[in-house]
Amino acid sequence: MLAVYSNPRWLSVVRGAVERLTETLGFPAVQCRSITRAVDEALTNIVRHSYGNRLDQPIALYFRSAKRCQHGEIEGGLEILLCDRGRALDLNTLRGRPLEQIRPGGLGLHLIRQAMDTVEFTRKGLTNQLRLVKYLARPRNAV
């Protein structure tokens, strides 16, 4: 578990931790970068949208191993829960913009969804919870 405040100065700290963690778990380099990017974008969304750029609000990140059965084989993975106690998020405001529009903003959610196998938002009591999961696919010819 990693507890940080909603100050953007913490973003680089979390990126460093997630990058090392994904490397250690054996994700390919491109996925280490994309998972790290997804967590960074998710944290930024919390700071901006959930906490309205307030700098001193709590954010908790939980990292757990994940498993699923895919094509008859067990795949391991990484589950990341990001929890905050900001305002309830309206999912309609978090859809991201169409990529064919060339304008600033709205890219973060696309980058999260492109990186992760599962992206789920839930509101539990006063807590927003974002669940991100990425599975570590086995090479097809692995024995």
Partner 1 sequence: MNISTRRLDKTTIFDVSGDIDFANSPEVRQSVLREIREIHTARVIVNLRQVRYIDSSGVASLIEGLKASRDLGSRFILIGLSTSAREVLQLSRLIKVFEIYDNEEQALAT
Binding residues vs partner 1 (CB under 8 A): 8-9, 11-12, 15, 30, 33-34, 37, 40-41, 44, 47-48, 99-100, 102-105, 107-108, 110-111, 114
Residue 118 in 3-state DSSP? Answer: strand
Given strand 118-124, what is the order of strands in its sheet? 2-5, 58-70, 73-84, 127-135, 118-124
Distance CA 37, CA 53 (A): 20
Of 88 and 107, which CB lies nearer to partner 1 in the complex structure? 107
Q: DSSP 3-state assignment of 21?
A: helix
Min dist CB 20 to partner 1, Å, is 14
* Closer by beta carbon to partner 1, 48 or else 67: 48
DSSP state of 137: P
Q: Which is nearer to partner 1, 42 or 78 (CB)?
A: 42
Instruction: Kindly state the tokens that stand for 92.
Output: 């309609």
Question: What whole-number distance in Å separates Cα of residue 139 and Cα of residue 86?
Answer: 41
CB of 106 to partner 1, least distance (A): 8
Residue closer to partner 1, measured from CB, 103 or 124: 103
Give least dist CB 110 to partner 1, A. 7
